Amino acid sequence: MDFCLELHKLFNGMKRLSAKDIDKIKIENGIYIFFEKGEKYHDYDRIVRVGTDTGQNNLKSRLVQHYIKENKDRSIFRKNIGRAILNRDGSPLLDYWNKDLTKKENKDKFFDQELSDKQKLLEKVVSDYLDKNMTFVVFQVDLKSERLRLESGIISALYHSEDFKASCGWLGNYVPQMRNNNVQKSGMWLSQGLKARPLTEEEFQTLKRKCEKINENSVDILHEK
């Protein structure tokens, strides 16, 4: 089976969400699949990120870290989008953006008020890019070990498909090649899980059952507000 194509068919058929829907999501534990405006795979919107909450009941807070909370050191997704924008524009802010200032020793050593102010402006640019270009679907997976396995299996299945490619104009193509950063290579806003054990037929059927429970023709995944 061509899992890459089947995954795109499956996820493209689900209820599409955006930043404004996050606080209404009923699911507390699960996997999210991101799509990006302009990216296509065959006749489907192309998957550009697969992720999950690694704790318990953190799905919505993780999505908030990506979309809304303007702190690139809490979301590698945000950090890589910022890297791509800065590298594309030839900005000298890239070196400062790459530093992780959540660690006290780094903050004491590298903090610069002028660069920090510029970084805050870029955080708003990243938020705007996400809001205007990214949508996602989610499905429930309660057990952490199962979430992590399905996440890595999906990523690997996509990555190992020969015709799964980013467009020439994809912003991720500008993410600098760095140690442990494979965004350009993967064609997705992620670097981990590329060489994991690919999805099995049994796992795909499990995915399908989970997604069918919450698609548009069954149970609504959003709270009424």
* Domains of the chain by residue range: 3-213
Report phi then psi at 44, rounded to 5: -115, 155
Phi, psi angles (nearest 5°) of residue 38? 95, -10
- In degrees and rounded to multiples of 5, residue 171 shows phi and psi of -60, -35
Strand order in the sheet with 44-52: 44-52, 30-41, 134-140
pLDDT at 225: 61
What pLDDT was estimated at residue 213?
A: 81
Q: What is the pLDDT of residues 64-80, one digit of tens each?
A: 999 999 999 999 999 99
Residues of the chain scoring pLDDT < 50: 217
What are the φ and ψ backbone dihedral angles of 223, each rounded to 5 degrees? -70, 145
Bridge partners of residue 34, in order along the sequence: 49, 136
pTM, to two decimals:
0.94
According to DSSP, the residues that pair with 136 across neighbouring strands are 17, 34
| Residue type at 160 in one-letter notation | H
Q: Which residues contact 152 (CB under 8 A, 6 or more apart)?
A: 192, 193, 196, 197
Q: Which residue has the tokens 């980013």?
A: 166
